[in-house]
Amino acid sequence: MDRGILLFGHNNRTIDYGQIALANSCLIKKNMKNNHVTLVTDVGTVDWLYKKHSEEFVKSKIDNIIITKRRNTNNIKRYYDTSYTKKIEQFYNINRHEAYSLSPYKETLLIDVDYLIGNNLLDQCFDLKYDLQINNTSKDLLNTRKASEFQRLDDRSIDFYWATVVFFRKNDFTELFFETIKHIYLNWPYYSMLYDFLAPNYRNDHAFSIAVHMLNGMQKNNLVSRLPLPSLQHCTGQDDFIECDGNKFRFLIEKPSQKGNYLMCKTENTNVHVMNKFALNRMAETIVEQNR
């Protein structure tokens, strides 16, 4: 296949990223034209996925599975299940810098498994002339919430770019881009200090943002193009994902500075980045069952 979707999913003790990847693959198959899906995962994750769902069904939604070794590094992340619950867990999905070398496609749409596909807008990526497409904006489903952490890596640092969705066409430039990300990954303490955010734990968004800045000549220019979307859309870990009916999603969105006070939000035919992985875990089974 010349065109396809690339997902990365490695389970930890709490979050079933394999099932989330399967659920999103169901949505991709239903909504997109360029819907050949490859999942990069590990033995434990795929074995658990086959145990919960038949291997035949999994392979009907995920066309290609690439097994890699899960990196057992100390890379913790705080996971929220609304404001009332949080848990510290290992985050193993840190091998996105391998997307170029692992992708079996000439043209690849790299998507986070938690970015639920509700329409076909991203099919346009493949028809544009731009070889590397990535966005630096994402709108909260509650537009009055503005998170500064999603605008710049730090107040004195560079613009934030979302590794949530990245399109690349294989050539020397995009190979250099992912080699730069690999270099940043291998030298993370140095780059977190240099770019003044001092995060001990590796974050894909930060690494991609630094790579964009470096390839842009350490300044703002248009070397890297935007996706054919005005912005991504997201809801936070403090919100809840409570219902899915086809391409209709229903969320409880927490009001700013009002813990436990929620607004109902309904989306239809919309791509949404769901940051509450516990809620997404709960709804993934529903999405899978609706697409059997």
Question: In this predicted structure, what is the pLDDT of residue 220?
Answer: 80
Whether the pLDDT of residue 200 is over 90: the answer is: no
Domains of the chain: which residue ranges? 3-290
**236, 262 Cβ separation under 8 angstroms:** no
Q: Please choose, from the candidates 214, 22, 227, the residue with its C-alpha nearest in 3D space to the C-alpha of residue 116.
A: 22
Q: Is the pLDDT of residue 115 over 80?
A: yes
pLDDT at position 15, please? 97
Structure tokens at 257: 């500075």
Q: Find out if CATH 3.90.550 is the number for domain 3-290.
A: yes
- Could you tell me the pLDDT band of residue 252, with boundaries at 50, 70 and 90? very high
Q: Using CA atoms, how far apart are residues 279 and 237, in angstroms rounded to an integer?
A: 9
Alpha helices in the chain, H assignment, sequence order: 17-31, 43-52, 55-61, 99-102, 172-186, 188-194, 204-215, 277-290
* Residue 197 scores a pLDDT above 90: no
Is the pLDDT reported for residue 198 higher than 80?
no
- Residue 78 to residue 202: CA distance in whole angstroms: 13
CB of 242 closer than 8 Å to CB of 236: no
Mean pLDDT, residues 182-193 taken together: 95
- Could you tell me if residue 170 is left (phi over 0), alpha (psi between -120 and 50 degrees) or otherwise beta? beta
- Greater confidence (188 vs 1) lies with 188
User: CA separation (Å) from 128 to 48, 64, 125, 133?
Assistant: 38, 25, 6, 9
Contact by Cβ (8 Å): 201, 91: yes
φ/ψ of residue 21, rounded to 5? -65, -40
Which is more confident, 222 or 26? 26
**What DSSP character marks residue 237?**
T
3-class DSSP state of 211 = helix
- pLDDT for res 262: 95
- Cα 146 to Cα 277: distance, rounded to the nearest angstrom: 21
Cα dihedral 242/248/252/256 (nearest 10): 150
Q: How far is Cα 21 from Cα 111, in angstroms, rounded to an integer?
A: 10
Q: What is the pLDDT of residue 154?
A: 78
